[in-house]
Chain A
Amino acid sequence: EIVLTQSPGTLSLSPGERATLSCRASQSVSSTYLAWYQQKPGQAPRLLIYGASSRATGIPDRFSGSGSGTDFTLTISRLEPEDFVVYYCQQYGSSPPGYTFGQGTKLEI
């Protein structure tokens, strides 16, 4: 079973700063199946990044993803006030099939 560990649990920054969020897997995962989501209160998770580094449709270019193997990173280059919410990494596979989630990183002002 793959375990995803996100760090830090909470990240305190200010608007305009750069945020770096980490997602570490307990074993190597395919970059193809590594995604990042943003979740605002009361809303469904919104896909930001898929395939570890591809931005989803409509996502601003201040969001970027990188990494491979067991270490993945979500970077927000210049924080906007609406970015201070929760972020999850997700891995899904076909062998065995299933989804694994990190515990989330809360970005706070």
Chain B
Amino acid sequence: QLQLQESGPGLVKPSETLSLTCTVSGGSISSSTYYWGWIRQPPGKGLEWIGSIFHSGSTYYNPSLKSRVTISVDTSRNQFSLRLSSVTAADTAVYYCAVAELWGQGALVTVSS
């Protein structure tokens, strides 16, 4: 069955760019009729949608993060990626990739010098 797995550095310095990749297995990104998304959860807080991408490359971002977010897709590798620039401590969170109701296990990213 379809599975998603996040990967990337667990520690990022302030002002730098956070980069994560979601690898999809058990199915093709290109065959989905849903948008593939990124969601995050700061420690002890609720869930926040970051943005979504369709396999064609069409993107849609949370307006509050839009100026710093780039989501891209690589259908040949069955992956989609997140880049969040100019990070601060407030960006410390568990980052999840998801499609519809199916989520990855999450990746903790800490922003600290």
Which of A15-23, A77-85, A90-98 has 4 or more CB atoms under 8 Å from chain B? A90-98
Distance A35 CA – B103 CA, assembled complex (angstroms): 12
In the bound complex, do residue A99 and residue B39 qualify as a contact, i.e. CB atoms below 8 Å apart?
A: yes
Chain B residues contacting A94 (CB-CB under 8 Å) are 33-35
Interface residues on A, range: 10 to 19
Residues of chain A having any CB pair with chain B under 8 Å: 33, 35, 44-45, 47, 50, 56, 88, 90, 92, 94, 96-101, 103-104
14 A-B residue pairs with Cβ-Cβ distance under 8 Å, sorted by A, are A33-B100, A44-B94, A45-B103, A56-B101, A88-B46, A96-B60, A97-B37, A97-B54, A98-B35, A98-B37, A98-B49, A98-B51, A98-B52, A99-B49
Q: Which residues of B pack against A, CB within 8 Å?
A: 33-35, 37, 39, 46-49, 51-52, 54, 60, 62, 94, 96, 98, 100-106
Q: A47-B102, A50-B101, A101-B47 are in contact. List 17 more A-B contacts (CB 8 A).
A: A33-B100, A44-B94, A44-B103, A44-B104, A44-B105, A47-B101, A50-B100, A56-B101, A92-B37, A94-B35, A97-B37, A97-B60, A98-B60, A101-B46, A101-B49, A103-B46, A104-B47
